[in-house]
């Protein structure tokens, strides 16, 4: 169900140089995906509310009307960006729900694969995590995040019922702590750094899921 | 070493009504702490960069010159706010370092007490976590955060050396994951809600520290 394009991880882009004089006749040097990529970088750097269409046009090196050739405005760019992140996260949840096997394994894979999504779609997830609900687009994004949280909490409850996750902590709280840890990666993880995303997701799931199984029978 | 005032937890404040006509002669109805409290609420709501002195004065219900009676400007308000959060966090680290006993217990108490600080000083910690380094004040705050992270990583390494924390994951990564989880609470935890901070810190430390001890010898 993901409508996200399959393009690889992207760090916050540098301002592009203006498209060459060859870029004419309705093709202003960007397609919608590459325009979105630059716009999201600018939003993350300056804040969505603090970025005007003038500034966006300047950073893209094109005119405002060239931007309007692709999208109706800033709001549509935000909606495309946050839905790219959300679609990828919901795709993980849907795929893991459809798999056979125990809920605990499906929960663990959901968390691990959400880290992969965060790393692969970092600028889009970062923007999503900063949304505060200041417009209809932002409210819809928050609604989808809440829906995601509820579905993860239901999976945690299922895992607790089968004995794979400790039942002394509320599933909703476990779900918040799990995805709090995942989302906190956006604050410091950079795909261009020395640490591969797979090492981060392996460490994160090892600690959290060993901890979710409950205390060791032999004390420390 | 904490210079933070001992006032209790405060949620984001509502705009205050202007001080009554009795507030005259250099006492504009606020002391520095209560002025800071309102200012931090406005910064968290509208963004620090997006809040001007005009808006701040309007929300405080006093004149700009009455604000300057207390502080030199917006920058000093930011510095007071982030240092209040940082001083409280460093006080925990210093106190736990000075305690006798094993590093693992001191690390666990450091994490647990940092959740307490986050809950008690939520608006100040929230503002701190949004600092991106856009000014000297912000750079100094980031430097102190980095110093804090390094000292936590050293404590994790000590705990791993004594066998209380798994040694198959880098101490720096463990430290980031621990405080990533703690800091993520600022996104959703509200002291006014039904969940006491003690329940959150108990759940968080139970999951993370059971997980940090490593896998159970008996599988699930």
CB contact under 8 A, A211 and B215: no
Domains of chain A: which residue ranges? 28-71, 81-212
Task: Tell me the two tokens of residue A168.
Answer: 């002394």
Rounded-to-integer distance, Cα B105 and Cα B92, Å: 13
User: Is B81:B40 a contact under the CB 8 Å cutoff?
Assistant: yes
Q: Who among A163, A185, A207 is closest to B212 (CB)?
A: A207
Q: Does B204 touch chain A (CB under 8 A)?
A: yes
Nearest-5° Cα angle at A184, B12 to A37: 100
Rounded-to-integer distance, Cα A148 and Cα A154, Å: 10
Rounded-to-integer distance, Cα A21 and Cα A41, Å: 25
Superfamily holding A81-212? Tetracycline Repressor, domain 2 (1.10.357.10)
Give the pLDDT confidence score for residue A217 in this predicted structure: 54
Residue with tokens 């006749």, as numbered in its chain: A25
Distance of CA B99 to the CA centre of its chain: 22
| CB proximity under 8 Å: B 135-164 to A | 163-164
Segment A37-94, tens digit of pLDDT:
999 999 999 889 889 999 999 999 999 999 999 999 999 999 999 999 999 999 999 9
**DSSP helix, strand, coil percent of chain B (3-state; round to 5):** 65, 0, 35
Rounded-to-integer distance, Cα B197 and Cα B203, Å: 10
Give the pLDDT confidence score for residue B149 in this predicted structure: 95
ipTM, 2 decimals? Answer: 0.83
Task: Tell me the two tokens of residue B216.
Answer: 């159970």
Residue with tokens 């795709």, as numbered in its chain: A91
DSSP letter at B152? H
Q: Three-state DSSP class for B64?
A: helix
Segment B28-75, tens digit of pLDDT:
589 999 999 999 999 999 889 889 999 999 999 999 999 999 999 999
Q: Who among B47, B183, B217 is closest to A218 (CB)?
A: B217
CB contact under 8 A, B49 and A47: yes
Torsion, Cα A44 A48 A51 A55, to 10 degrees, reads: 50
Rounded-to-integer distance, Cα A37 and Cα A42, Å: 9
Rounded-to-integer distance, Cα A138 and Cα B49, Å: 20
Q: Who among B164, B170, B206 is closest to A220 (CB)?
A: B164
pLDDT tens, chain A, 220 aa long:
333 333 333 444 444 444 444 444 444 589 999 999 999 999 999 889 889 999 999 999 999 999 999 999 999 999 999 999 999 999 999 999 999 999 999 999 999 999 999 999 999 999 999 998 889 999 999 999 999 999 999 999 999 999 999 999 999 999 999 999 999 999 999 999 999 999 999 999 999 999 988 776 544 4
Rounded-to-integer distance, Cα B155 and Cα B111, Å: 11
Task: Tell me the two tokens of residue B58.
Answer: 């309007």
**Based on the number of CB atoms within 10 Å of its own CB, is A5 exposed (0-12), middle (13-18) or buried (19 or more)?**
exposed
Task: Tell me the two tokens of residue B173.
Answer: 């990564």
Rounded-to-integer distance, Cα A108 and Cα A114, Å: 10
User: Is B213:B165 a contact under the CB 8 Å cutoff?
Assistant: yes
Fold of A28-71: Arc Repressor Mutant, subunit A (1.10.10)
Task: Work out the mean pLDDT of chain B and round it to a whole number.
Answer: 87
Residue of B nearest to A202 (CA): B169
Q: Three-state DSSP class for B178?
A: helix
CA atoms within 13 A on the CB side of A6: 1
| CB proximity under 8 Å: B 90-109 to A | 104
Rounded-to-integer distance, Cα B182 and Cα A184, Å: 9
Give the pLDDT confidence score for residue A5 in this predicted structure: 39
Give the pLDDT confidence score for residue B39 in this predicted structure: 97
A-chain CB neighbours of B211 within 8 Å are: 206-212
Cβ contacts of B145 within 8 Å, gap of 6 or more: B86, B128
């Amino acid at each position: 169900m993901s409508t996200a394009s399959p393009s690889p991880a992207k760090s916050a882009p540098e301002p592009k140089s203006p498209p060459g004089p060859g870029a004419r006749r309705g093709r202003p040097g960007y397609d919608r995906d590459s325009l979105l990529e630059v716009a999201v970088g600018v939003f993350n750097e300056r804040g969505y509310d603090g970025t005007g269409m003038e500034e966006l046009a300047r950073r893209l090196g094109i005119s405002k009307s060239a931007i309007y050739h692709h999208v109706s405005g800033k709001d549509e760019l935000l909606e495309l960006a946050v839905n790219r992140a959300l679609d990828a996260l919901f795709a993980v949840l849907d795929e893991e729900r459809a798999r056979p096997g125990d809920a605990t394994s499906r929960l663990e894979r959901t968390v691990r694969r959400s880290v992969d999504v965060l790393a692969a779609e970092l600028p889009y997830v970062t923007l999503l995590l900063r949304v505060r609900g200041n417009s209809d687009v932002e409210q819809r994004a928050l609604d989808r995040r809440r829906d995601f949280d509820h579905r993860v909490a239901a999976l945690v409850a299922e895992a607790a019922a089968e004995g794979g996750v400790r039942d002394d902590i509320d599933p909703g709280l476990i779900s918040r702590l799990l995805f709090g840890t995942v989302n906190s990666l956006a604050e410091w993880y950079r795909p261009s750094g020395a640490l591969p995303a797979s090492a981060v997701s392996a460490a994160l799931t090892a600690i959290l899921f060993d901890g979710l199984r409950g205390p060791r029978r032999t004390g420390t």
